[in-house]
Amino acid sequence: MKSDIMKMMMQGLAMAFLLISTHISAADHACSDCHATATPNANDLIQPLSGLCADCHIDRITAGEHVIGIPVTTPENTLPLHDGVMSCATCHDPHQSFAALRMKDPELCQQCHLK
């Protein structure tokens, strides 16, 4: 009986470790995964911003979840643009866990889309 309980506990711990280790957040990446210098900034990316996201998330991009690379001219927009166009980082903060959305919906979408 005691060994069965211990076995179940060990299996539970192993499952918890597996779940945690397979859901690594964006905040767990090293700066050098995306940046070329020791003092990272938006101008030292190792490749174009959209390519950085596509390296790991090509399935999301090919699924057409949202178009990127389009100019944003909405005056209400307060989101970051890359050379005046929308990128993945316009809506997602790559420095937060799981590249969290910058705002809640519908506020986020209404930065560019009509209300």
pLDDT band for position 5 (cuts 50, 70, 90): low
Span 44-89, pLDDT tens digits: 999 988 788 888 888 887 888 888 888 988 887 889 988 888 988 9
Which strand (E) or helix (H) includes residue 53?
helix 49-62
- DSSP secondary structure, 70-84, as one string: -B---TT--S--BTT
Domain extent listing, the chain:
27-111
